[in-house]
Amino acid sequence: MEENISEVDLAYQILSEAGKDNPIYFKKLIRQIIAKKNKVVQNEAAAISEIYTMINMDSRFQHAGDGLWGLTDWYPPETKRRTATKTTTAK
């Protein structure tokens, strides 16, 4: 049934199962997603890029450094992603 869920939801599931102390290298994570979805891939680099972008845009995921990804919930608030706020100054 994993073919029916989105790539990012599957990434969340894989990381949840791996556990808090086990961030996963992005290529390994994406290859697991492709395998679980039984996805036919013509160009692995393009598939990795596409799924990586989806993960990067989803606030449930946190880059842990050196190509490793974990879940935002694993990290203390001061290390979580910060949303850039646009400030304007009056002239």
> Average pLDDT of the chain?
86
47 vs 85, more confident: 47
Whole-angstrom Cα Rg for the chain: 15
Buried b (16+ CB within 10 A) or exposed e, 4-13: eeebbebbbe
Pairing verdict, β 61-65 and 24-25: unpaired
Structural domain 2-79, CATH architecture: Orthogonal Bundle (1.10)
Average pLDDT over residues 65-82: 83
pLDDT attached to residue 1: 55
- pTM to 2 decimals? 0.79
pLDDT attached to residue 6: 94
Angle at 9 between CA 70 and CA 24, to 5 degrees: 25
